[in-house]
Amino acid sequence: MNDFDYQQLDDVIHSRIRLALMALLISVEEAEFNFLKEKVNATDGNLSVHLKKLEEANYISVKKEFIDRKPKTVYSLTKTGIKAFELYVAQLEKLIKK
Amino acid sequence: MNDFDYQQLDDVIHSRIRLALMALLISVEEAEFNFLKEKVNATDGNLSVHLKKLEEANYISVKKEFIDRKPKTVYSLTKTGIKAFELYVAQLEKLIKK
């Protein structure tokens, strides 16, 4: 395959905000909505849209939990998400390291 | 600065096709339109739009040349473009290497 073919990069991951979310989730295993929001510096609406897109691709899973009796939404990468992220990073590195 | 803030990534470079173009141009110094087109696997129209955007950001320069008596359009990175690409790569690597 041609290393410079831009379509090799996974479009679901490549958007800046989703890339930041994936990179963050791979580093922390799981994270709560407000933590993600603060770290990637997104608005509620924008974050929701992009988390949904990652969930639809089966890259992240979502669970509702009660922490200190408050409902929280917790996100983590799925195995599919981890694999997709690793492939994305490998292809990205091939592209930028000429 | 927060490493996971997605807005730190240069939006002009981050689009998949423009990233591929920048990575390609940094590896070859200069390149002709059809060479870029084949390497990044883009259509004429799509490629033109994105080269224009890189030119407007002063990341690439464009010159018209005659090669074998045929007119050719040749693209190369500017100093600003090289600097922007290096900064982009550094920030990207910080993001994906947690």
* A65-95 pLDDT per residue, tens: 888 888 999 999 999 999 999 999 999 999 9
- Distance from the Cα of B18 to chain A's closest Cα (Å) equals 8
How far is the C-alpha of B89 from the C-alpha of B20, rounded, in Å? 12
CATH fold of A9-96 reads Arc Repressor Mutant, subunit A (1.10.10)
Tokens standing for A14? Answer: 């490549």
Confidence of residue A1 (pLDDT cuts 50, 70, 90): low
Report pLDDT for A98.
Answer: 57
CB contact under 8 A, A7 and B39: no
The C-alpha atoms of residue B55 and residue B74 are separated, in whole angstroms, by 12
The DSSP letter of residue A15 is: S
Query: For residue A2, what are its two tokens?
Result: 């041609």
Domain locations along chain B:
6-96
Best interface-test mutation with A: which of B1, B3, B4, B36 has the largest number of A CBs within 10 A?
B4
What ipTM goes with this model? 0.89
CB-CB under 8 Å, A20 with B4: yes
Contact across the interface for A14 and B9, Cβ inside 8 Å: no
Question: Do residues B13 and B22 make contact, with C-beta atoms less than 8 angstroms apart?
Answer: yes
Q: How far apart are CA B29 and CA B81, in angstroms?
A: 12
Q: What is the mean pLDDT of each run of 10 residues along chain B (98 residues)?
A: 86 97 93 95 96 98 90 95 96 86
Q: Which positions in chain A touch B92 (Cβ < 8 Å)?
A: 92, 96
Query: Is the model's pLDDT at A2 over the cut of 90?
Result: no
Cα–Cα dist A75/B70, whole Å: 57
Task: Answer with the residue of higher pLDDT: B54 or A29.
Answer: B54
Instruction: Judge if pTM exceeds 0.95.
Output: no
Q: Which helix (H) or strand (E) holds B58?
A: none
Q: For residue B7, give both structure tokens.
A: 């807005």
B6-96 fold = Arc Repressor Mutant, subunit A (1.10.10)
Contacts of A42 in chain B (CB under 8 A): 6
In angstroms, the Cα distances linking B62 to A33, B30, B42, B72, B73 are 45, 10, 18, 10, 7
